[in-house]
């Protein structure tokens, strides 16, 4: 599995692109700099390449976040920055 954010910064939503994924639940977690869970969701991806949007992030404080995409035993992490 390969996952990345469409852009490295976000304001109120974050688009995630996934590639080389098997059709099964994908767990997505957004963590703050201190490791607290800010957002947690599950997506069902039916195609090997897809993208989805995590919305409603406008209430989060500005800073650096870690996006975790988890499918089975595989975990992919990437950084995203909430900006003004």
Q: What is the pLDDT along the chain (84 residues), one digit of tens a residue?
A: 678 898 999 999 999 998 877 777 889 999 999 999 999 999 887 777 788 999 999 999 999 999 999 988 899 999 999 998
* CATH number for the domain harbouring residue 54: 2.60.40.1930
Do 6 and 19 contact (CB within 8 A), yes or no?
A: no
Helix or strand run (H / E) with residue 17? strand 13-19
Give the domain extent around 31. Answer: 2-82
User: CB within 8 A of 14, min separation 6: which ones?
Assistant: 5, 30, 53, 54, 57, 67, 80
- What's the pTM? 0.87
Number of domains in the chain: 1
């Amino acid at each position: 599995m390969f996952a990345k954010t469409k852009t490295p910064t976000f304001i109120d939503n974050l688009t995630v692109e996934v590639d080389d994924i098997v059709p099964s639940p994908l767990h997505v977690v957004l963590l703050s700099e201190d490791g607290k869970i800010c957002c947690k969701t599950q997506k069902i991806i039916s195609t090997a390449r897809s993208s989805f949007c995590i919305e409603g992030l406008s209430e989060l404080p500005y800073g650096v976040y870690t996006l975790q995409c988890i499918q089975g035993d595989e975990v992919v992490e990437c950084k995203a920055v909430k900006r003004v």
